[in-house]
Amino acid sequence: MFPTNHKTIFVLDHTPYFGISSDNPIDFDVAKSRGPGYVPLPPVCKSLWTCSVEAAVEYCRIVWDLFPEGKLVRFVVSDSSAHILNTWATTQQNITHILNGLCLVGPVRRGAGGDVVGLCAAIEGLAESSPTQATRPPPERHFQNRGRIICITSARDDDSIRSLAEIALNTLVQQNKKASTPQPPTTGDATTSSQNLVVHYCHLVIINVTPEKADTRVNNQPVTEMGGGLMSVEVIVCRASALASLLGRLVLPHYKLAITTVTGIPMKEEQNASSSANYDVEIIHSAEAHAGLRATQTAQEATESVVLRWWTPRGAEGGAGGCNGPLWRVTPADVASRPSACLVNFLLNGRSVTLEVPRKGGGRSASHVLAAQGGELWIGALGGRTPYDDPPALSEGAGGRVTDYRIKEFGALMQQNKLHPLRGAGSNARSRARLQRHTTYWPLTISSTLIFNLGSVMEPLTRLVVQESLTEEEVDSCRGVLLSLLGMESRHEFPSAQLPSNLRGKSSGRREEQWRQVWGELEALIRAHSASPAHRALLRTLLECRSHNNHGAEGDSSRATVIRATTDSPLSPVGAGNGNGSSDVWAPRNVLDALLGAPRPPRRPDFAGRMAAGSRVATLYPHLQQDVEAPH
Amino acid sequence: MPTVILLDVSLSMSRPVPTTDTTETHTRFTLATAAINTFLDYLCIHAKLEYVTLVTFSSVYEVAVPFTREFDNIRVKLPLLDDGDKTCIETALHGVNQLILNEWGYQTPVQIILITDGSSGVGAIGRNRIIQALPLPPTYPGKIHVLPIVSPHDSSLQHAMPLYQKIVDLACNSSNNSNGNITRGAIYSPDQLNVPGVVAAMTRLCEQHYQEFWCTLKCGQLETRVQLFPAPQPASHEGLSASYTLSSQLHVIGFLQQQDLGTPIAISKHLVIPQAQIGSNTTPRENYGSKTPTKEGSSTEGTSTEDDSSDPSKVSNFCVLLHGALKVEGMSAIVQLGSDWWGTLSAWCEVSRARRSCLLLSILRPGASAAPWLGPLDQLGPVEENTTSTDTFPVRSWRSYSGGGSGCAWARPHALLADVQKVLRHARKLPDKTQHLYKELNRLRRAAISLGFAELLTCVGSALERECTALPTSAPPECALQLAHAAAALRDPRTALDIKHTLQPLATNFTVTSMSH
């Protein structure tokens, strides 16, 4: 479950010997000399310490660039004591933390000390559980705890290396013995979780570093097992100047990585913008990205490095979207080089690049795609059919021949239910609850609904009612919608008159039936949301409205009162319901009261002539004279 | 998963099967034909979209029918196959590997059904030699099932069994099975050597490995029953602590713009095929309209009302609506697949068939960090209307691709050289670049201190002094002073190697005086 590369510890020798020069001069005066009298600068040599630090840091950079989590690296600096620069904690797993620690350690100082103390500290470090290992409950702690120690040191001869390895093995055995003895029962749960783990396997890589011209009596040793498979030791002899490239090579098998050379990247020169030169950039990524290439290669071809040619992107084609398989993170092998920086910036700016296998015989075949996502670089392998290609047409499946889906409205719903990166738990649940509310009454097609097609007439009711709670004003504006509908109905208008012209023809049918549908749908909509008190108040209003208009012949009279009570148009008669005290035995009521209050008992409709006359004395037979004159 | 039917046509397959029934005579080959027809019948009902190929082999192999969804092509071909000579499994598997890599690449999981005569055709030594020569595990993920057409008590089967077991075991050890989500194949021996026997064995195979996957897609209260094709496999691999199995309800939790979503790493992709709602007419919520007078009264569609309920394509389905809206809005839906597991739903369009679009489910790696640029997936949520969210996509990672941002990737000399040249370029452009010079110097110092590279600072100090001596006479006096100050500061043993110390430009009032001249 936990591979060896889950935990890696670097042990850096910080003894005085590492203060000596690597004897690999770097000349800064590369530019042509600037006339006579110009004193050339003396070349600079890095110390062995500088060489080992920068190589180890570069190793970490590659690991952490490609594995933001799950691959942990620690540093132990060893001189007279072991300086532990970081723990397995995620917050300390980054280069800045390491560099700050190295600043505090400082350059090599005089004094005694050696690599042994650091190596022992590193072995103890392997026994400490990583954050993911610590999350395992004790009964599941049967996982293999493995790790790797890379010790950069300099020894006199093979014997001292051998004794170093033996000390490491002894420490490991002793430590495992301690870890496997059961804890005294008195210790509580808190201590058992921090209890050291048994180390099941340790891969010890000893790198023996020497200055450029110094002789060494240490020889390379292939991986040898010690302690019955508990530890395997490997010794590599290396010049300080080659240390960085050695670790750059070692990181590949340690993390199953591979290098691709992207060749033929056209780049414009600053000095000569009209032409472009071609550059190569090496990128590192999981070796799995090459599986497709390797699968069809012979054993001989498979040992060669992978070179892929840049395929200049044309238009919008390509991109990681065309890649059906997995993507793997990518990091440049040489971050500091100009071509690498150009490629990285090109990708980070949102372009993507297709890579092809260079073919001698011509003919192109795209093999990989490079793209950035979320500020990280990725490589994906192209090619191969997918088992889901040539899908059945959606139009032939279930629901495929229905043409009036409310696609635009669902689009609006999707926009309202867009996800954002939030903090804290329960975000998903909140989002699902919101979707639940928004879809409680949601007809799929245009022809199955009237109220959602009425547009402005229903605003803002349809928008507000899906909210979790309603304010007083929101309830009022929803009531306003209901009342205006009631008004429309009383004026014998067709609800379909409000439909966009292209829909009007479709929802024909009798007026009463249309209104019945409107009220029915409204009830379904509001009832579905009647969780909060405000929603229930709205529902009561709606039920009032329905009870006023759903009664056929027997309720004609009461209907008339409601109509009068609720219509407010200048054309409507000034009548009994409208505050005319002399003609109405009932106290005047405003619209809201009329709707919310108990329905008044049915009463005889007032004399039409008096209603028309208002406050004046009603005239009897006003048309009598006209009727007489008309035939003439 | 595409399927290869690898059919043995060696001479031994034409041996007649002993039977008491005299009306019908069967050979092992006709039994195999019956098994294949059973298989195709099963697919017709449960997995119409599966691609199947028929490969025959004896000492040579031949692709009788290339990968197709037209299963009838295979049925028609079966009686027309020629007899071969002897069974040679390793050659056949070689050919199959090549066929699959050419057609499907190395990422698509494949199933192979090996139908053979139940005899390895060689002795114990020869059998072990075949095992050695098997071209397994393949470079693509896959599994192999073996269906030996032989009586269970036949001694040749006992002899061939280790070979079959080895084939089955090796097939799923693929190096490319990184997702580990392929279960292994099996050997399906018929109980008896007759038609019902082989049909039963094949049916067992189908039921175990060609199960269609049904689930319910829910978006709030809207839901529909869908089939996922190809059927998703449980996810379990090295980095995961547990095995994840897709739940039978997929919940949409919200939506994202396509460009925000990008293309997260999917462990598999599946078509989402809507199924007819059974009894959906009884739920008034979904089909309110069908009960209202609107439809009944409509004169134009009045006649078709009867068909509407019987033809599923004319009953509205949420899946079709979702697909249309996702396509129009250019959005994708985030779907919860189980606990701590997410996927994305998008309208997907094959490049070659631009007009045929469908709903595609991408299953992400289990865990909340499957798409780092979206942040933790369990923390995706809605923003209330009156609050403004400061967080937007993409959630940036801290990675900078420049050696941790501190510029100490000096393992290669050219990088160090470039940084030193940059300092010197600024030094030659004083006094305009004073601030730049000190900024670069402090960056260089910081890197040099962490690497213990004091030699570099001494060297840069001398270089600045040399620039000072090389100044033209016309240069303002401030230049010389700043260069001397910087050079001295770099070599001052008290401050140069102190990380907390920051080099500051020399405070001068020369600019003022030189202008007053």
Token pair in block for residue A600 = 């008044």
Chain B CB contacts of A104 below 8 Å: 499
Residues A299 and A264 in one domain: yes
Contacts of B213 (CB under 8 A, 6+ apart): B227, B228, B229, B231, B232, B246, B270
Token pair in block for residue A620 = 């009897």
| Per-residue pLDDT at B445 exceeds 60 | yes
Mutation target vs A (from B97, B174, B219; most A CBs, 10 A cutoff): B219
Over residues A52-76, mean pLDDT: 90
Pick from A58, A99, A435: which is nearest to B220 by CB?
A435
Pick from B139, B266, B377: which is nearest to A291 by CB?
B139
pLDDT confidence tier of residue A404, bands split at 50, 70 and 90: confident
Over residues A454-464, mean pLDDT: 76
Q: Name which residue leads in pLDDT, A471 or A237.
A: A237
A566 lies in a domain? yes
Predicted confidence (pLDDT) per residue in A408-433, tens digit: 889 989 998 988 888 777 888 889 98
Pick from B219, B382, B404: which is nearest to A99 by CB?
B404
Residues A53 and A82 in one domain: yes
Over residues A434-441, mean pLDDT: 87
Q: How far apart are CA B142 and CA B131, in angstroms?
A: 18
A632 lies in a domain? no
Q: To the nearest whole percent, how much of chain A has pLDDT over 90? A: 18
pLDDT confidence tier of residue B206, bands split at 50, 70 and 90: very high
Return the exposure string of B341-377: e unless at least 16 CB atoms fall within 10 Å of the residue's CB, then b. bbbbbbbbeeeeeeeebbbbbbbbbbbbbbbbbbbbb
Residues A324 and A434 in one domain: no
Predicted confidence (pLDDT) per residue in A271-314, tens digit: 777 778 888 999 999 888 887 776 666 666 666 778 888 886 55
Question: What is the chain B residue with the closest CA to A106?
Answer: B452
Does residue B313 sit at the A interface (CB-CB below 8 Å)? yes
Residue A252: the pLDDT is 92
Q: Tokens 């229903």 identify what position?
A: A458
Residues A477 and A505 in one domain: yes
Question: What is the chain B residue with the closest CA to A24?
Answer: B413
Does residue B120 sit at the A interface (CB-CB below 8 Å)? no
Residues A321 and A463 in one domain: no
Q: How far apart are CA A99 and CA A57, in angstroms?
A: 8
Chain A CB contacts of B398 below 8 Å: 94
- Give the angle A479-A480-A486 at the CA atoms, nearest 5°: 90
| Residue pair B53/B65 in contact by the 8 Å Cβ criterion | yes
| Per-residue pLDDT at A585 exceeds 80 | no
B411 and A244 within 8 Å at the Cβ level: the answer is yes
| Residue pair A259/A283 in contact by the 8 Å Cβ criterion | yes
Flag the least confident range among A85-99, A530-544, B131-145: A530-544
| DSSP for residue A554 | G
A391 and B49 within 8 Å at the Cβ level: the answer is yes
Does residue B305 sit at the A interface (CB-CB below 8 Å)? no
| Per-residue pLDDT at A571 exceeds 50 | no
A517 and B294 within 8 Å at the Cβ level: the answer is yes
A186 lies in a domain? no
Beta-strand relationship, B222-229 and B213-219: antiparallel
Mutation target vs A (from B181, B216, B228, B255; most A CBs, 10 A cutoff): B255
Residue B281: the pLDDT is 41
Predicted confidence (pLDDT) per residue in A319-331, tens digit: 555 666 677 889 9
Does residue B147 sit at the A interface (CB-CB below 8 Å)? no
* ipTM computed for the complex: 0.73
Residue B114: the pLDDT is 94
Chain B CB contacts of A507 below 8 Å: 294, 298
Residues A251 and A262 in one domain: no
Strand runs labelled E in B258-325: 266-274
Residue B323: the pLDDT is 92
Residues A413 and A267 in one domain: no
A373 lies in a domain? yes
- Give the angle A474-A480-A485 at the CA atoms, nearest 5°: 135
Question: What is the chain A residue with the closest CA to B50?
Answer: A387
Predicted confidence (pLDDT) per residue in B102-133, tens digit: 888 777 889 999 999 888 878 888 888 888 88
What dihedral angle (degrees, nearest 10) is formed by the CA atoms of A522, A528, A533, A539? Answer: 20
Over residues A39-51, mean pLDDT: 84
Residues A448 and A301 in one domain: no
Residues A8 and A101 in one domain: yes
A226 lies in a domain? yes
Q: Would residue A113 be called left, alpha or beta, if left means φ above 0 and alpha means ψ between -120 and 50 degrees? A: left
Q: Name which residue leads in pLDDT, A500 or A231.
A: A231
| Per-residue pLDDT at A31 exceeds 90 | no
Q: Report the gap between the CA of B505 and the closest CA in chain A (Å).
A: 23
Residues A250 and A282 in one domain: no
C-beta atoms surrounding A474 within 10 Å: 18
Residues A230 and A342 in one domain: no
Flag the least confident range among A175-179, A196-200, A472-476, B44-48: A472-476
| Per-residue pLDDT at A561 exceeds 50 | no
| Per-residue pLDDT at B475 exceeds 90 | no
Over residues B292-307, mean pLDDT: 38
Token pair in block for residue A324 = 């059906």
Domain count, chain A: 3
Residue B262: the pLDDT is 73
In one letter, which amino acid is B289? G
Over residues A100-110, mean pLDDT: 84
Q: How far apart are CA B485 and CA A198, in angstroms?
A: 57
Q: With H, G, I as helix, E, B as strand and everything else as coil, classify residue A75.
A: strand
A578 lies in a domain? yes
| Residue pair A602/A550 in contact by the 8 Å Cβ criterion | no
Predicted confidence (pLDDT) per residue in A165-216, tens digit: 999 999 999 998 888 876 555 444 444 445 688 899 999 999 999 998 888 8
Q: Tokens 């305009």 identify what position?
A: B432
Residues A267 and A249 in one domain: no
A472 lies in a domain? yes
Residue A121: the pLDDT is 92
| Per-residue pLDDT at B221 exceeds 80 | yes
A399 and B320 within 8 Å at the Cβ level: the answer is yes
Return the exposure string of A443-463: e unless at least 16 CB atoms fall within 10 Å of the residue's CB, then b. bbbbbbbbbbbbeebbeebbe
A385 and B104 within 8 Å at the Cβ level: the answer is yes
In 3D, which of B368, B248, B115, B463 has the Cα closest to residue A421?
A: B368
A520 and B292 within 8 Å at the Cβ level: the answer is yes
Question: What is the chain B residue with the closest CA to A407?
Answer: B325
**Could you tell me where the DSSP H helices lie in A213-302?**
243-254, 291-295, 299-302
Residue B170: the pLDDT is 86
B101 and A26 within 8 Å at the Cβ level: the answer is no
| Residue pair B36/B205 in contact by the 8 Å Cβ criterion | no
Question: What mean pLDDT value characterizes chain A?
Answer: 77
Name the residue range of residue A340's domain.
Answer: 258-381
Chain A CB contacts of B297 below 8 Å: 508-510, 513
A49 and B252 within 8 Å at the Cβ level: the answer is no
Pick from A69, A381, A417: which is nearest to B254 by CB?
A417
Q: Report the gap between the CA of B280 and the closest CA in chain A (Å).
A: 12
| Residue pair A167/A120 in contact by the 8 Å Cβ criterion | yes
